[in-house]
Amino acid sequence: MKKILWQVVGHYPRATDLQEQVLTISREIGDRQVEAIALCILGALRRITGDYSQAADLLEQALTIRREIGNRDGEAEILNHQGALLCTSGDLAKARERHLRALELARGVGNPLEEARALAGTGRCAMAMRIADGPADLRKALEIFRRIGAAEAVDLTAVDDLHPSHTGSGWTLAEN
């Protein structure tokens, strides 16, 4: 829990140190599930701090483990993290592909949190790519986040005010 707190309050070096300890211990005791979780969190931390290459490597390792142990729920989570990384680094088409695959998996295993994260990811990618279904995906994500009480709902509250731009340049926020 302490490792997550460090991440939340923005102490990324400390969070990274703690996660690396978790990774080492999980490997020593052979706990593949915890190893995948540690790799995923380290990948997310590397993305946040701008080390995209290392983030991609860590997330790929985590994805491989999740697939090897048959954790489809965790696979959806990793695919969403990969999608976020690809979006951040500008590869919107690949990012959207990852989120769509995560969406399929999340729905298949009945994981509403990862489903909403996947919809938010596809929505953000679609909007950046000027694909018309972007706001609809974001609205669906917001509905799910609200229904399950996820904190991520706060990040999408402006979606309620999105409307097509009359200039053809995408979407705009409604004026109050």
| pLDDT tens-digit series, residues 48-96 | 999 999 999 999 999 999 999 999 999 999 999 999 999 999 999 999 9
Domain presence at residue 82:
no
The whole-chain average pLDDT of the chain stands at 87
- For residues 66 and 4, membership in a common domain is answered with yes
Q: What is the pTM of this model?
A: 0.84
Based on the domain organization, do 104 and 66 belong to the same domain? no
Shared domain for 59 and 115, answered yes or no, is no
Looking at residue 161, the DSSP 8-state letter turns out to be G
User: Is residue 87 in a domain?
Assistant: no
Closest Cα to residue 109, out of 133, 79, 85, 81? Answer: 79
| In a domain? residue 88 | no
Is 15 in the same domain as 53? yes
Calpha distance 33→58 (Å, rounded): 14
User: Which pLDDT belongs to residue 160?
Assistant: 58
37 domain residue, yes or no: yes
Number of domains in the chain: 2
Closest to 125 measured CA to CA, from 157, 93, 153, 89 = 93
Query: Residue 1 belongs to what domain range?
Result: 1-70
